[in-house]
């Protein structure tokens, strides 16, 4: 199965971002991708954290969800919809950072709300997602073309226990693929992005699909980019370093079986 990571440089304007995302999904599908993943906040990177409140949607309604559903159905692909702001019932000051998945028929398959909320302060850059976001609390996976696919978002990447929970969910097979839609800062991405992606691939013996924001945004923020697809041996199979574009590679079931047979680490787990 061909999988694709879409890299964007999203703006503070929803309509422009949906147009750009549509163009890039079209490009990925034209390259033969059967599963396409968009980056975190593909729909909006606002001037202020609170800007996302104005575009928040309720489940099953709104232009962002309609766009994702239509794009999946148009191309007959699975779409991992990066993230979007999802309304919190009864609150006008909090949203959830939500990843929605749509199947080839355009129907919603899964919803994951980002569990770990990013905070960073080095004296020059300051971020605190908890000012606006409400955290999620449940790991989520879905099935695409017979492959179990785990969902995570950006800062989740620093918490290997989430990926272990996905990999060893009771009664479920190990995940063949983990998705990590992200908007890593340039500072943290340069230091840790590739290292963490390859570590999660190696320790879980799975493919990693990591679409990212990548460039200098109109709000002044600079994101690291380097959207990647990593194989189960930790090898980088595809990478889009900077600017919008698509990284594409094959998820090879025989390669997964080979790695897991030659080094049966998943079967050796005891804790």
pLDDT tens profile 150-186: 999 999 999 999 999 999 899 999 999 999 999 999 9
pLDDT, residue 271, reads: 83
Contact 96, 59 (CB under 8 A): no
List phi, psi (to 5°) of 19. Answer: -65, -45
Which of 43, 114, 179, 244 is an active site residue?
A: 114
Which of 43, 99, 154, 175 is an active site residue?
A: 154
Q: Is 114 tagged catalytic?
A: yes
pLDDT, residue 225, reads: 98
Separation CA 217–CA 46 (nearest Å)? 9
The number of domains in the chain is 1
Q: At 9, is the pLDDT very low, low, confident or very high (cuts 50, 70, 90)? A: very high
Q: Is 2 tagged catalytic?
A: no
Q: At 125, is the pLDDT very low, low, confident or very high (cuts 50, 70, 90)? A: confident
Mean pLDDT of the region 238-249? 98
pLDDT, residue 237, reads: 98
Q: Is 40 tagged catalytic?
A: yes
3-state secondary structure 201-246: HHHHCCEEEECEEEEECCCCCEEECCEEEECCCCCEEEEECCCCEE
CATH number of the CATH domain containing 210: 3.60.110.10
- Walk across the sheet containing 147-151 and list its strands: 141-144, 147-151, 177-179, 207-210, 227-230, 236-240
% of the chain with per-residue pLDDT over 70 = 100
pLDDT tens profile 186-243: 999 999 999 999 999 999 999 999 999 999 999 999 999 999 999 999 999 999 999 9
pTM: 0.97
Separation CA 170–CA 265 (nearest Å)? 18
pLDDT, residue 181, reads: 98
Mean pLDDT of the region 245-257? 98
Q: Which domain holds residue 188?
A: 2-268
Q: At 264, is the pLDDT very low, low, confident or very high (cuts 50, 70, 90)? A: very high
């Amino acid at each position: 199965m061909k999988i694709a990571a879409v890299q964007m440089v999203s703006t503070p304007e929803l309509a422009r971002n949906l147009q750009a995302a549509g163009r890039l999904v079209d490009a990925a599908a034209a390259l033969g991708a059967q599963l396409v993943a968009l980056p975190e906040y593909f729909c909006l990177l606002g001037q202020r954290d609170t800007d996302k409140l104005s575009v928040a949607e309720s489940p099953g309604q709104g232009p962002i969800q309609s766009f994702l559903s239509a794009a999946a159905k148009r191309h007959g692909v699975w779409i991992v919809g990066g993230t979007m702001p999802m309304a919190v019932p009864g609150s006008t000051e909090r949203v959830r950072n939500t990843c929605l998945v749509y199947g080839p028929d355009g129907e919603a398959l899964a919803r994951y709300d980002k569990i770990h909320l990013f905070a960073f302060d080095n004296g020059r850059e300051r971020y605190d997602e908890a000012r606006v976001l409400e955290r999620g609390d449940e790991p989520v996976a879905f099935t695409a073309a017979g492959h179990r696919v785990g969902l995570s978002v950006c800062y989740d990447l620093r918490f290997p226990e989430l990926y272990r929970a996905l990999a060893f969910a009771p009664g479920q097979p190990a995940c063949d693929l983990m998705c990590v839609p992200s908007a890593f800062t340039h500072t943290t991405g340069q230091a840790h992005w590739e290292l963490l992606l390859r570590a999660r691939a190696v320790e879980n013996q799975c493919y990693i699909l990591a679409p990212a924001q990548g460039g200098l945004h109109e709000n002044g923020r600079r994101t690291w980019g380097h959207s990647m697809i990593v194989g189960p041996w930790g090898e980088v199979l595809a990478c889009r370093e900077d600017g919008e574009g698509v990284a594409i590679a094959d998820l090879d079931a025989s390669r997964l079986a080979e790695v897991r047979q030659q080094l049966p680490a998943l079967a050796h787990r005891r804790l």
